[in-house]
């Protein structure tokens, strides 16, 4: 059985070799795994990426472009998707997360957990302000 599964996965990977564009193809384990690898710190770029980096510093470290929904700006930092930004934190705006809302962070979930003392808005990420 395992051999057949292996063969199937091998075939699944096979046609993708060579990096041909596959705009209409369904998302595969390979693609998802690439995201997973990206998520945890790999992040090698594709060979076709355009060079847009000047060859010299100094420069302020530039954060990721959060337009893809993977993050949101919070104070001078950035929160990963799944986290919320507490703009009223006594230490200054800070990222935080709730396990109750990790599956799908939303104002509905965050407000339910944090209670009525907190106001929540979804504005390029979940922003919370509490009394």
Q: For strands 84-86 and 126-130, give the pairing.
A: parallel
Q: Write down the least CB distance from residue 37 to another protein, Å.
A: 5
- The residue count for binding another protein (CB under 8 A) is 91
3-state secondary structure of 126: strand
CA-based Rg of the chain, rounded to a whole angstrom?
20
Instruction: Specify the DSSP element, H or E, that contains 71.
Output: strand 71-74
Q: What does the per-residue mask of binding to another protein show for 55-94, with x meaning CB under 8 A?
A: xxxxxxxxxxxx-x-xx----xxxxxxxx--x--xxxx-x
Tokens 């091998």: give the residue: 10
Q: Per CB under 8 A, which of residues 17..56 are in contact with another protein?
A: 17, 19, 21-53, 55-56
Using the 8-state DSSP alphabet, how is residue 28 labeled? -
Considering the complex, state which of residue 81 and residue 122 has its C-beta at the smaller distance from another protein: 81
Q: Per CB under 8 A, which of residues 112..131 are in contact with another protein?
A: 113-115, 117-118, 128, 130
Considering the complex, state which of residue 22 and residue 123 has its C-beta at the smaller distance from another protein: 22
């Amino acid at each position: 059985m395992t051999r057949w599964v292996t063969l199937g996965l091998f075939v699944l990977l096979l046609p993708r070799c060579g990096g041909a564009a596959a705009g209409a193809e369904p998302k595969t384990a390979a693609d998802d795994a690439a995201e997973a690898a990206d998520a945890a710190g790999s992040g090698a770029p594709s060979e076709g990426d355009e060079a847009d980096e000047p060859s010299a510093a100094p420069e302020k470290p530039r954060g990721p472009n959060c337009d893809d929904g993977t993050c949101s700006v919070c104070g001078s930092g950035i929160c990963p998707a799944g986290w919320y930004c507490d703009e009223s934190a006594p230490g200054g705006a800070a990222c935080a997360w709730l396990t109750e809302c990790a599956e799908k962070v939303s104002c509905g979930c965050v407000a339910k957990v944090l209670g009525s003392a907190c106001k929540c808005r979804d504005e390029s990420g979940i922003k919370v302000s509490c009394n």
